Chains A and B, each alone.
Chain A
Amino acid sequence: MTRKLLTGNGAAAWGARLSASDYIPAFPITPQTEIIETLAGWIDNSDLDARLVTLESEHSMITAAAAAASTGVRVFSATSSQGLLYGMEMLYTVAGWRSPFVLVNVSRGLASPITLGPDHNDIMAARDSGFLQIHCATCQEVLDSTLIAFRLAEHTRVRLPVIVNLDGFYLSFTREPVDIPDSKLARQYVGDYDAENIRFRASAPLSQAVAVLGGSPYSYFRYESHLAAQDSLEIYHEVTEEFNQLFGRQYDAIDCYRSDDADYVFVMMGSFATKAKEAVDQLRDTGFAIGLLRPRLMRPFPAQIFQQLLACKKGVAVIDQNLSMGMGGVLHSELAASLYGQAHAPPLLMSYIGGLGGRDISSEEFFEIASELRLSAEQGKTPPPRLLYTKTELREVRKLQAVAHVERQDLDEGNTHE
């Protein structure tokens, strides 16, 4: 094991390397490109015995990835944002093939307007595709999750593709110290991929991904994928337990931070959750019993674990780095669905939208959320969802609009609504 500074992208590439990926279909997109460049470099230097092929789109890339996994090789691929959406048809399609491979997504806000800053709307769009989703908060976790993801995807009871998600810039381009596992130990952990009876060989004719007619067989195939995804939570426990034994790092489905004895809880996912951790420490210093729950798994959604961990809490603030237009935060909705009707569910579940397009979330904002949380709990009222957005920000946007020759009168009217 060596410890060195790695970017999140570098960590993802190491994950692919240590898993002995055979095949890497690729397509460049910011902020993911460094991953495939790193892998290409290793292949050129014979550090990695794999084949990397650049396709002409993510749609093709995901098709090729799944087709190769369906032929029986270990496949790693990576994309981001618009690329994930360009490949969206195939995400849904190949999950139904029951074709296991690992796709790293470097989260980045979606157009329009087009941006390079990170948020989670890209990965949330893949929520219902059949891909399992592991969300990372540190570069170490990116590397480790890639190894875990192969175990999960290729497990005979699962056989579903897995996305490992990391935030653009905040992880992808940020270096942190990362323990690089011993390659033999990593190989031992990941093992060999056995495609069993779903693989193409001349000696065993196989028609994969065929059409069905009628709702009954369709329902069967779709629901079986769902059951496999649900069942994968148990497999996830097994393979992370084993990972912990070999490498000494524990990755629960939900990362709990000072939540056991907390009255109040922040819930958020991704790299900004470490900021929430810091806020928890500061708030604890003021005597405020607050903790953090960070789901590492978005699919399968660890609903029951949330129910247990949040039982008897006084209030929960969900901070979503995504936005479902006309509804609000996706994690908030899912949590509400998980908690509804549960005997000891917290009476207060507040929704905040923050960090869209990479917009920072300051410590003060976490503190203020905590303050609102306590006040609302005392008043027994749930306030409406809030976008984390300051007067200064709006003033700055107004300046941009003026430059863009937005009608002055409209701007004034807009201002009166402040």
Chain B
Amino acid sequence: MSELTYRRMKDLPSTHLLGTGTPMCAGCGGLNALHQIYDIIGEKSIFINAAGCMTLLSVYPFTPFRGSWLYTAMASAPAGAQGVRDALDVLLQKNRMSMQDDMQVVVLTGDGAAYGMGLSATSGAMERDLDFMYICYDNEGYGNTGQQYSGATPHAAMTATSRGPRGFPGFKKDLFSIWSAHKPAYVATVIGTEPLDLARKIEKARSLKGPRMIIALSPCPTGWDYDPQDSVTVGKLAVRTGVWPLKEYVDGKVVHTKVPHPRKPVEEYLKLQGRFSHLFEPQRDDALINEIQAKVGAYWEDVDS
């Protein structure tokens, strides 16, 4: 039933639930994804947060949420979700709470927590088949502390802790596969710049039981160093160049929901962002650009085969 709700753009919500007035940066790609997600999840929800940029969504006495919120710590938001979900179940089972008061339990963390410190807690929640949703806003670095590299940082990106001429030497961790290996109810990648794809996936996730895991690539004008007004352009290019594959894992299978065809060259995505400017200035680093392009190419070859 759910997938039919969002068939075309005009089906997308035109009024928004999440309150304005948050301290997120102007042009925040994570907030763009979150407000779209919140429209679909709705206010009968509790967001369990780990330390990151979005911890500052709720600074006393201000919160943008129309439902509930609980800040935990960097490593244990999924455990917080476990406690709340279990408590709600106990209350329902013992008839101490009406069904009307039940809610969606949603973990909200950045990539620092999701890819790193909180991974063990997330793995635990999945292995216990916790009925919860996990939204990771992935801006590919420890954004709240000034964009140091994290497990989500892509190859060659300049960060506050990888300022050398070749940027970050490591590679972005494949969290989608790590999560999928737990065989949860649902895993999907989304991005706020593809709202219809996002809406369908969140709607699907909402309708399922068990762990439903979402990674939202979150273009970050501050951390990625581009003009805030390019936030959506950067996000769209992440998809069209094939850098950010939109896909979902359900019933043991991975399906790509939007295959870019033809794929644009990755440099169109890279050159918009200051964090990759060393690939183009003062001299163009063809070797590194080609390396990144080849990685993306290899990924999609695997998909096609």
Q: Please pick, from A56, A57, A69, A210, the residue contacting B58 in the complex, using a CB distance under 8 A.
A: A210
Interface set of B (CB-CB < 8 Å, partner A): 43-44, 46, 48, 55-56, 58-61, 63, 65-73, 75-84, 86-91, 94, 96-97, 100-103, 120-121, 123-124, 128
A121-150 residues at the B interface, CB under 8 angstroms: none
Q: Given A55-B124, A60-B124, A212-B59 in contact, is the A67-B80 Cβ separation under 8 Å?
A: yes
Q: Is A64 interfacial (CB-CB < 8 Å)?
A: yes
Of B44, B60, B94, chain A has the most CB atoms within 10 Å of the CB of B60
Q: Are A25 and B121 in contact (CB under 8 A)?
A: no
Q: Given A202-B44, A207-B58 in contact, is the A68-B103 Cβ separation under 8 Å?
A: no
Complex Cα gap A346–B92 (Å): 57
Please give, as numbers and ranges, the residues of chain A lying within 8 Å of B70 by CB-CB distance. 67, 70, 200, 207-209
Q: Are B73 and A89 in contact (CB under 8 A)?
A: yes
Q: Please pick, from A56, A201, A205, the residue contacting B121 in the complex, using a CB distance under 8 A.
A: A56
A50-85 residues at the B interface, CB under 8 angstroms: 50-51, 53, 55-57, 59-61, 63-73, 75
Please give, as numbers and ranges, the residues of chain A lying within 8 Å of B94 by CB-CB distance. 22, 49
Please give, as numbers and ranges, the residues of chain A lying within 8 Å of B43 by CB-CB distance. 202, 205
A215-235 residues at the B interface, CB under 8 angstroms: 217
Interface set of A (CB-CB < 8 Å, partner B): 22-23, 25, 49-51, 53, 55-57, 59-61, 63-73, 75, 89-90, 93, 200-203, 205-213, 217
Q: Are A210 and B60 in contact (CB under 8 A)?
A: yes
Who on chain A is nearest to B98 by CB? A203
Q: Please pick, from A60, A201, A210, the residue contacting B71 in the complex, using a CB distance under 8 A.
A: A210
Q: Please pick, from A51, A71, A93, A206, the residue contacting B73 in the complex, using a CB distance under 8 A.
A: A93
Who on chain B is nearest to A201 by CB? B101
Please give, as numbers and ranges, the residues of chain A lying within 8 Å of B63 by CB-CB distance. 207, 210
Complex Cα gap A23–B96 (Å): 14
Q: State how many angstroms separate the Cβ of A28 from the closest Cβ of chain B.
A: 14
Q: State how many angstroms separate the Cβ of B67 from the closest Cβ of chain A.
A: 5
Who on chain B is nearest to A94 by CB? B72
Interchain Cβ contacts under 8 Å between A and B, 5 examples: A56-B121, A64-B83, A67-B80, A67-B83, A89-B73
Please give, as numbers and ranges, the residues of chain B lying within 8 Å of A75 by CB-CB distance. 83
Q: Are B121 and A57 in contact (CB under 8 A)?
A: yes
